[in-house]
Amino acid sequence: MSTKSTMMDFPLTLPHMLERIGLYFPTIDVVSRLPDKTLHRTNYLTIQRRAKKLASALTQAGIKKGDCVATLMWNHYAHLECYMGIPCTGAVLHTLNLRLLPDDISYIVNHAEDQILILDDVLLPLYEQIKDKTSFKKVIVVPLCGAEISDEFINYEDFLETGSSEFEYPEIDENDALGMCYTSGTTGRPKGVVYSHRSTVLHSMAEALGSALAINQCDVVTPVVPMFHANAWGLPYTAVMAGAKLVFPGPHLDAESLMDLYEQEQVTLSAGVPTIWMTIKQALEAEPTRWKTAPNMRMAVGGAAIPESLFRVFDSFDMKIIQAWGMTETSPLASIGILKSGMSDLSEDEQYKIRVKQGVPLPFVEVRIMDDEGSLQSWDGEAQGEIQVRGPWITGAYHKEGSQLDKFTSDGWLRTGDVATIDPEGFIKLTDRTKDLVKSGGEWISSVDLENAIMDHPDVIEAAVIAVAHPKWDERPLAVIVVKEGKSVSKTDVHSFLKGKFHKTWLPDDVETLSEIPKTSTGKFLKKELRKIYEGWIWK
């Protein structure tokens, strides 16, 4: 006899999460900082009712299963309502990146065939720039500033009133599409990644694990990472699932506004890219006793490499950085830098060496590293290769482009384009993007390692290292830095600071100071732009 499982086949879909916040966490706060800096307060019961009204109104407006509904919004309560309400109709939440150029936004809207747009009133000037190249059936405007909304648009609040909070969910299969994000596209056109209900639910459960971000009902969660970038790292969904309080920063992402918010709402977990934390670090160093944040506040940091000094400084303020690695294609959380049991016995220095690594994959995420010739590399902490991943919340294709691109292997793994080593404990350490490695005299130099080490210099705010053609060595590293106001850091300073940390052939041949390093819409160094600036660089 072949024994069969007796378990129910219960779908992993979003309506369950939306019902749950109303049933179990109705009074939990959702706080949003509005464009005028005032705080908007609501709770999960109200969010649930309004999300259901939105779902009902969208259904009455003709939105069907699989249709894309776009949002162009900052992080706040109404965006959370869209996060929950749109997928509960069976439609697809398409978050548009407001930092992209208007041409890219309209390309993405047309490629995704977005039907309806919901946007913040403060972003109407951006809509004006895409309006002629897009054709939404309806444009709904959220009145964050309380100003009149012209007749050309539908007021979000009026639109909600056309729906009912008694909305009956349609049948949704757990593999149906829930949301969509386009990659930030440092090369070529952005590509669409479509998440399913199942992938989002599983990602939320894994993110909440004690060995991941350990999110529970007592947490106060502030996603600084935008809700238009890889679902704000899944945090809105994870917080809703856990019943944790959410605090949204709106458009105010400067250090002072964020620190004020952390203190005022006693935030226990926040998340964002390193540039955000760099500015906060400066604010804290300038006024070390000004803010009292929640004890042992956690900060999930990812999206770009994090210098060790940042971990040390925040530890001294009782704010703990947890490194996370992933990408739009991986929902995005794929690995997390949490020390294993036993590692707490290591010396402080050894612990920092581990914390700067990108960590261990979450359960059900499988990784391998492969060299250019397609040979698997060993996990010895030395051999490096491209990280390839697979798992239930890793995309297996791009929207309308399938999996034929060079982004997937023939045996079904996603090629991340990140180069890494993996140590015997399974900790991933990113050394570069495949395109950013410096090849000097036949040897690979890691731009990321150099950048992190230079950014530890007390007078350096940011450092990017790029490969520049060299007549003898093929390529040599050029460091481009931004220094603190009133300071100057020369090539000799950088060399003596790096002395003993790297072999001398790794030291950058030149150091250039800029007032700002060009960045992508999601805060990564735009090395393509830097390479353009220094094309044809003459070595001194």
Binding site for ligand AMP (CB under 6 A): 183-184, 230, 302-305, 323-328, 332, 358, 416, 418, 430, 433, 522
**Amino acid at position 284, single letter:** L
Closest distance between ligand AMP and the C-beta of residue 301, in Å? 7
**Annotation says 183 is catalytic:** yes
Q: Which is nearer to ligand AMP, 139 or 280 (CB)?
A: 280
Q: Which is nearer to ligand AMP, 388 or 416 (CB)?
A: 416
The tokens for 356 are 């700067």
The tokens for 508 are 């950058």
- Could you say which of 287, 340, 401, 444 is catalytic? 444
Residue whose C-beta lies closest to ligand AMP: 327
**Annotation says 287 is catalytic:** no
Rounded Cα distance between 92 and 415, Å, is: 25
Rounded Cα distance between 539 and 470, Å, is: 8
Closest distance between ligand AMP and the C-beta of residue 15, in Å? 28
282 phi and psi, to 5 degrees? -65, -40
Closest distance between ligand AMP and the C-beta of residue 23, in Å? 33
CB-based burial, 155-174: b 16+ in 10 Å, e otherwise: bbeebbeebbbebebeebeb
Closest distance between ligand AMP and the C-beta of residue 39, in Å? 29
Rounded Cα distance between 91 and 194, Å, is: 12
Rounded Cα distance between 267 and 260, Å, is: 10
**Amino acid at position 373, single letter:** E
Q: Which is nearer to ligand AMP, 88 or 467 (CB)?
A: 467
Longest alpha-carbon distance in the chain: 79
Strand positions, DSSP E, 34-113: 39-43, 68-72, 92-95
Closest distance between ligand AMP and the C-beta of residue 465, in Å? 14
- Could you say which of 183, 395, 416, 522 is catalytic? 183
- Using alpha carbons, select from 283, 312, 304 the residue that is nearest to residue 229: 304
Q: Which is nearer to ligand AMP, 89 or 452 (CB)?
A: 452
Strand, helix or coil at 348? helix
Q: Which is nearer to ligand AMP, 250 or 303 (CB)?
A: 303
**Annotation says 329 is catalytic:** yes
Q: Which is nearer to ligand AMP, 224 or 305 (CB)?
A: 305
**Annotation says 444 is catalytic:** yes
Closest distance between ligand AMP and the C-beta of residue 62, in Å? 32
- Could you say which of 174, 207, 265, 329 is catalytic? 329
Residue 71 to residues 46, 112, 169, 226, Cα–Cα distance (Å): 20, 13, 21, 12
Instruction: Say whether the peptide bond before residue 332 is cis (omega within 30 degrees of 0).
Output: yes
Write out the catalytic residue numbers: 183, 329, 439, 444
